[in-house]
Structures are given as structure tokens and as C-alpha cells.
Amino acid sequence: MENQLLLPGVGFILLIIVLAITRNRLRRRKEGFHVYKRGGGEDGVLIYEEGEKSLQVYFNRLEDIIYIPSAIMWKEIMPHWASERRAEILARIKERVGKILICKSWKF
């Protein structure tokens, strides 16, 4: 009896995983960008991607801070494709950050 329930249970879990992955990929394709993080429990980088292009900003999870360069510094250090799009990119990051970095409130 246990073996008869195991296979359908595993199949159901795999189906849920495949559906979640597919949904995420479709959303990324529709929106044209993706935001994700890399790092540890204390700090890391937030990565913003548009197709083949990407940029990184740093975060500190202990202080709930995402470090965004000032408007002048942004133009100097960010890739050419992003240098004039600070407001747009920051709005997209802020939209996504609560969904991937679970925390009360982040300071930018």
C-alpha cells in the first residue's frame, strides 16, 4: 500500500516543480527582465538581467540595505545600456525585491 502511494506522490511533487519553473520562465520572457540574489546570510549581490545584459548592486541583509549608487555615480559605473535608465531599473528592482529577499522593509 505504501509503495502504491509513493509513486503518485512523487509524480505530483515533480509536476508542481515543473509548473513553477515554467511559470517563472514565462513571466521572465513576458516582462523582459529578471532579478535574483547571490550571497550568504549577511550580504551579497542583487543581479538585474535583461536578456544577455546584467548589472549588480550589493545588499546587506543584517541592516536591510540595498546599496544603490547616486545618480551621478550610476552613470559612471553602470554598463552603457543601463546608464540612462536608473529610474526604470530601480523601479523594477523595488518591485521584485520583496518577493526574493523576504524582509520587513529594505532601504535603498
Instruction: Dump pLDDT digits (tens) for 21-66.
Output: 888 778 777 888 988 888 887 889 999 999 899 999 998 888 888 8
100 shares a domain with 78: yes
53 shares a domain with 3: no
18 shares a domain with 41: no
Q: What is the pTM of this model?
A: 0.69
61 shares a domain with 38: yes
77 shares a domain with 58: yes
40 shares a domain with 24: no
Residue 44: how many CB atoms within 10 A of its CB?
16
Q: List the strands of the sheet with 65-67, edge to edge.
A: 34-39, 43-50, 53-60, 65-67
Name the phi and psi angles at 67, rounded to 5: -85, 115
User: What total of structural domains would you count in the chain?
Assistant: 2
Instruction: Dump pLDDT digits (tens) for 67-105.
Output: 999 999 999 999 999 999 999 999 998 888 865 544 445
Residue 1 DSSP SS3 = coil
Give the integer Cα–Cα distance in Å for 53 and 12: 36
Domain residues for the domain of 2 are 1-31
74 shares a domain with 51: yes
> What stretch of H or E contains 74?
helix 71-77
